[in-house]
Amino acid sequence: MDFFSQISPFLLSGLLLGSIYGLSATGLSLIFGVLKVANIAHGAFIMLGAYVAYFALTMWGVVPFVSAILALALGGALGYLVYVAVVKPLGLKNELNILVALFALFLLMAEAARILWGPDFVGYTWTIGSFSLGGLIIEYTKLAGALLALAIVISLEVFLRKTYAGRAIRAVVQDSVGAQVVGINVDRVYALAAAVGIGITTLAGVFITLFIPVGINPYMGGPYTLMGFVIAVLGGLGSIMGAYLAGLVFGLITSVGYFAFSELGFAEPSQMALFIAFLMLLLILLFKPTGLLRI
């Protein structure tokens, strides 16, 4: 088997999953860009999205592409609440207090999920068929999920560039005092950014289940928070397209890196691939701290 045939399934697999990784980090990136708040509770909203997908399908037969809309709305409402009830009362200047409060929210959501839905690992089975490409069998649901993730990120970018609300958000990112001077309601912009950011994160939780429809549990969020930060920093905190691109890079590194290190005879190829991803993060922080796409 030639080299390209060997590597192509790993490339494709990495790209597909990377698209979802990218989507899942955009909410985190947006919130940091606008509010300068590190959303430590990120993984808990991914978990919530995964449960929305699970319950919608198993209880009402609603497929994930439809339940994603519900997750977006639910996440959006919760995002607004998080801003109004947690971030705003603590004051945006108190980053440390907000960080601790969001960490508490993360724990609270996980424990609430355990009490409400139990500690078991649940999952669903839903397939609409598959096709073979480059040595990889690809489920249509995964392909659709990856393409939709790209479409959502592009839409978000268009929203930020072409609409009044989007331009207001960008104005606040650039200079919140200046934005206030020209009549932008900064408080409303913060609330909007929190709602959109957490809405997208919860929606990403639904999309993640297209790739990992099993093992859904109250404590699944932790690794997604860590991964989300790695991707968001790699792409440049605050840059939507940067986060998406970094997600693709992360997906490719973990998949192709595994192949490469495995072929080279390393004992722990997946850990080595992760090492490369973190090394890349270190290099970005050292030489281009604004991330891949931010100037």
Q: Stretches 61-69, 92-100, 221-229, 286-294: which one binds another protein (CB under 8 A)?
A: 221-229
Exposure of 65 by Cβ count < 10 A (0-12 exposed, 13-18 middle, 19+ buried)? middle
Distance, in Å, from the CA atom of 149 to the CA atom of 85, rounded to the nearest integer, reads 30
Residue nearer to another protein on the CB measure, 8 or 97: 8
| Amino acid occupying residue 189 | V
Question: Cα 44–12–294 angle (5° rounding)?
Answer: 60
The two counts, helices (H) then strands (E), for the chain are 12, 2
66, 84, 99, 114: which one contacts another protein (CB under 8 A)? 114
Residue nearer to another protein on the CB measure, 147 or 158: 147
Residue nearer to another protein on the CB measure, 75 or 221: 221
Distance, in Å, from the CA atom of 203 to the CA atom of 68, rounded to the nearest integer, reads 5
36, 117, 186, 270: which one contacts another protein (CB under 8 A)? 270
Q: Is 178 in the site for another protein (CB under 8 A)?
A: no
Q: Which of residues 19-48 bind another protein (CB under 8 A)?
A: 21
Distance, in Å, from the CA atom of 211 to the CA atom of 283, rounded to the nearest integer, reads 30
Q: Is 275 in the site for another protein (CB under 8 A)?
A: no
Task: Output the six-digit token pair for 151.
Answer: 């479409």
Site string for another protein, 1-20 (x = CB under 8 A): --------xx--x---x---
For the chain, the maximum distance between any two Cα atoms, rounded to a whole number of angstroms, is: 64
Binding site for another protein (CB under 8 A): 9-10, 13, 17, 21, 111, 114, 118-125, 127, 130, 135-137, 139, 211-215, 217-220, 222-223, 227, 254-255, 258-259, 262, 267-271, 274
